[in-house]
Amino acid sequence: MKTYIVLDESGAMHLKNERYFVIAGFITRELHKVTSIHKRIEEIVKKRKNIPISQKIELKSSKINDGQQALFLNELYGLLDVIPVAIVIDKDNLSKFGASENVAYNFFVKNLLNYLFKCNIPILKANQIELRVDNRNTAVKSLKDLETFLQWEFELMDLEVNVKYLDSKDNRDIQMADYVANLVWKKYNCVNEDLSRRIPQYYRTYISKFPIKLFGHNPTLKQLNQKNDKSEKELVVKL
Model pLDDT, residue 154: 79
Note the helical H segments in 78-214.
Answer: 101-118, 145-153, 172-189
Q: How many CB atoms lie within 10 A of CB 74?
A: 16
Question: Distance between CA atoms of 170 and 136, rounded to whole angstroms?
Answer: 14
The Cα-based distances of 141 to 66, 82, 152, 153 in angstroms read: 37, 32, 18, 20
Closest by Cα among 78, 71, 9 to 195? 71
Going from the N-terminus, what domains does the chain have, and what CATH number goes with each? 2-238 (3.30.420.10)
Burial of 13 (0-12, 13-18, 19+ CB in 10 A): middle
pLDDT in tens, the chain (239 residues): 899 999 999 998 888 889 999 999 999 999 999 999 999 999 999 999 999 999 999 999 999 999 999 999 999 999 999 999 999 999 999 876 666 777 888 899 999 999 999 999 999 988 899 999 998 655 444 556 888 888 887 776 778 889 999 999 999 999 999 999 999 999 999 989 999 999 999 999 999 999 999 999 988 655 545 544 544 444 344 43
Within 8 A by CB and 6+ apart from 23, the residues are 7, 8, 9, 86, 87, 89, 105, 108, 109, 112, 181
Instruction: Note the pTM of the prediction, 2 decimals.
Output: 0.88
Side chain identity at 12, as an amino acid letter? A
Model pLDDT, residue 139: 47
Model pLDDT, residue 220: 64
Closest by Cα among 69, 29, 34 to 49? 69
Tell me if residue 5 falls in helix, strand or coil.
strand
- Is 113 within 8 Å of 7 (Cβ atoms)? no
Tally of helices (H runs) and strands (E runs) in the chain: 6, 6
